[in-house]
Chain A
Amino acid sequence: MPDNVKQLLDSNRVVVCCGSGGVGKTTTSAALAMRAAMEGKRAVVITIDPAKRLATSLGLKALSAKATDLTQNVNDVLAAQGEKPLTGRFFAVMPDTAQTFENFVRAMAGTNENLAKRVLRTSIYKIFAKEYSGTNEYMAMEKLYELYNEKDYDLVVLDTPPAANTRTFLEAPRLLADFFDDRIMKWIIAPGSKFLATGLRKLLEILEKLTGHGFVSDLIEFTTALFELRAQFMENLHTVGKLLHQDDVAFLMVTSPERLSKTDTQEFVGILDERGYRFWGFVVNRVLGRRLGLDAGAGVGAREVDKLEKELLANSGKRPADALKILRANFEQLVPTLEHELEAERFLATLSGRGGKVLLVPEQPTDVHSVSSLVQISRQLS
């Protein structure tokens, strides 16, 4: 097989890893950056993960919002395994997501601290979900833009924020743009047209009746202050959007046979296509067949199991019948999972018809939360 991973890492400066929850997106992102570092690159992984999974994996309490050089941590593990050190360097960054919206407002307000204060002191801000849809994604894009432009790295890998759907990352800018939608905000602050003004006044009256005093006046104050941030936001969004469309930026979808949703996948590939982003392919994690050493695409029906049994017995003349039966019964517990995997692989193959790649990563013997297991996965990417 041609080295797909090498091609991915050599011909791109940015790799964006999308995927739904629980598929190993963070692990994959880190493993890709680590692999690039094995091949002599300066690589950085950006992770936005409130659960601090990557930090735990790397044996750290937390990661900082500044790029941390973790080359030595990896080299220690490599040395312990009797392996050569990295020829490149491996960095990780975790933007502070504990108070994402606050950070978002502060970033937008820039030097205008007073403006940020006005937004943040309203009561309504306190009920504003910390993880307002889109802010995590937006902060991720900002960080990506910043690191890309520092030109200090050969490769930036983005682990997109945890999300229910793969397409969430792609939809986030639109959601935020909607939030900053001229019209809604202008209406709330100073409705232009008389007809709209009447409609909106009614709506705000209704809201006031439902929420009691205080809420609506607070909302207007909050919105007015936010509105002033709008221009900056739109400008940044435009710039970051341009970066994501460059031809050295590759999007890939991380998934696992277990979690693969056909609709979600089709939508994701469709949206990439429609918006002109470059789709690179799929990384399929936790593939049991790979772990068991089954060949890609090999069936797991009764006939194949017979064959496996024969191979096994070729080594030994003896044939303890019940032992063989137990072994076989045990394997059969895994057959539905293996069959499901084959179907998932076939499905992805149909979608990658336009040159998309499929990387299969074996199911790991342990949960991935150590440098050595990350090193292991980096090597297994092919």
Chain B
Amino acid sequence: MTSQAHWLSKNLIIVSGKGGVGKTTLATAAARYLASQGKRTLLIHVLQLGEVEQKLEKLAPNLWNITLRASDCFREYIIMKLKLKTLYTAFLGNKMTQYLERAAPGVREIVLLGKVWFERENYDHVVVDMPSTGYALTMINTPFNFAALFPGGPIYHDSKDMIETFSNPRLTSFVVVSLAEEMPVQESVELAENLKGLMPANPAHLILNRLVRVRPEALTLHDTEWRKLTDPERTSPLWRGLDFLVHRQAKQNQLLDQLKDSWAPFAKDWLQVGEIPARDENQRSIAIAELIGASRAR
């Protein structure tokens, strides 16, 4: 794996996956790592639902963070494209743009994705913490729909440009985060297949989060005479803890084996982020950032 081909080397890094697999943690860790390497990095959070104030904040040297609000993105877009000044924007009170963004299908998705796409020029890297699989796919579908159905306006042209950027493996990487469990993996493969249908030239990368690793010396202990002596009823939590991890690891290895085939059309590299026993998200994110750095240097 050359570092050039690494998903981290792209200008636009789009992270999605099933709910609960660690998208936000991983996106944050990746952004943190890039910033620590001296790259100007923006971490963008896109919510499926809900409105929070859209405010750019600086998290660390070289690292900025923003959660998008569709009505703000929409207004910015209108002002930029139609060269409107404040006089006009009086009409575009928050309520009005919110209404329109809700009443006009696709507008929410296209302005959110558009904002992500525009920001790429202002940073070395833009890392996007996307909503989970279903809605992420809906969003990425939107420029394709606008480009096919409504020719003529700026949204049409920007949609075509967005598609070009997303399809270019030198500019954009799609990262699918998963756990090494059956359901999340199945959903990840589905997402990757759907993305490939839209952007055949730019297959997604897979990241497996929270892998289990049992020490070899613990494995050999698993079924010994000593166990029978000390835990005849197999009820001791100490032994059950070992059973649990051994079992988990066996299932996981089985799944990794199957993945070699089902993921073959997509992955050029993948990173296995192991079980990291960190108590808070920040600690965890730093630990993963270190891992990402190590994987890149490999």
Q: Which residues of A contact B (CB under 8 A)?
A: 20-23, 50-51, 53, 123-133, 162-165, 168, 171, 175, 178-179, 181, 184-185, 187-188, 199-200, 202-203, 206-215, 219, 222-223, 258-259, 288, 291-294, 305, 308-309, 311-313, 315-316, 318, 320, 323, 326-331, 333-337, 339-340, 363, 365-367, 369
Contacts and interface: CB of A to CB of B under 8 A. Distances in A.
Contacts of A202: 91
B18 A363 contact: no
Interface stretch (B115-123, B167-175, B182-190, B262-270): B182-190
A127 B105 contact: yes
B198 interface: no
Interface residues of B, number: 74
A292 B237 contact: yes
B61 interface: no
Contact of B49 (A133, A208, A212, A293): A133
Interface in B245-279: 245, 247, 251, 275, 277-279
Contacts, number: 206
Given A129-B109, A210-B154, A320 B226 contact: yes
Given A329-B215, A329-B218, 5 more contacts: A164-B132, A168-B49, A212-B155, A215-B150, A326-B218
Interface stretch (B31-39, B52-60, B227-235): B227-235
Interface in B64-93: 77-78, 81-82, 91-92
B104 interface: yes
Q: Which 10 A-B pairs have the closest CB atoms?
A: A21-B19, A212-B152, A22-B20, A212-B153, A128-B105, A336-B277, A127-B106, A127-B145, A316-B229, A292-B237
Nearest to A223: B103
Given A164-B19, A207-B104, A336-B279, A312 B99 contact: no
Given A211-B150, A212-B155, A199 B96 contact: yes
Interface in B120-170: 131-132, 134-135, 138, 142, 145-146, 149-156
A293 B153 contact: no
Contacts of B217: 326
A331 B242 contact: yes
B214 interface: yes
B237 A308 contact: yes
A210 B149 contact: no
B181 A367 contact: yes
Say whether chain A's binding surface is mostly helix, strand, loop, or mixed. helix
A313 to B, nearest CB: 7
B49 A164 contact: yes
Contact of B103 (A188, A293, A305, A366): A188
Given A214-B150, A315-B229, A21 B20 contact: yes
Contacts of B277: 333, 335-337
A259 B151 CA distance: 44
B165 to A, nearest CB: 19
B238 interface: yes
Question: Which has the most chain B C-beta neighbours within 10 Å: A199, A215, A316?
Answer: A215
A367 B244 contact: no
A205 to B, nearest CB: 10
Given A21-B18, A212-B151, A330-B215, A288 B102 contact: no
A236 B33 CA distance: 51
A334 B142 CA distance: 43
A294 B142 CA distance: 50
Contacts of A128: 105-106
Given A327-B242, A334-B241, A123 B132 contact: no
A167 to B, nearest CB: 9
B5 interface: no
Contacts of A125: 105
Contacts of B78: 206, 210
A129 B138 contact: yes
Given A327-B218, A330-B218, A333-B245, A219 B104 contact: yes
Nearest to A124: B105
Contacts of B244: 288, 291-292, 334, 363, 365
A209 B260 CA distance: 48
B221 to A, nearest CB: 6
A318 B81 CA distance: 80
Nearest to B214: A330
A311 B247 CA distance: 24
A362 to B, nearest CB: 10
Given A213-B152, A329-B218, A53 B237 contact: no
B238 A312 contact: yes
Interface string B26-48: 00000000000000000000011
Contacts of A330: 214-215, 218, 241-242, 245
Contacts of B230: 312-313, 315-316
Given A126-B149, A184-B103, A211 B238 contact: no
Contacts of A340: 279
Contacts of A339: 279
A22 B133 CA distance: 12
B100 interface: yes
Given A164-B47, A291-B240, A326-B221, A207 B102 contact: no
A92 B253 CA distance: 33
A50 B105 CA distance: 21
A177 B217 CA distance: 60
B49 A165 contact: yes
Contacts of B182: 367, 369
Contacts of A130: 138
Contact of B251 (A133, A210, A367): A367
A367 B184 CA distance: 11
B97 to A, nearest CB: 8
Contacts of A164: 19, 47-49, 131-132
Contacts of B241: 292, 330-331, 334
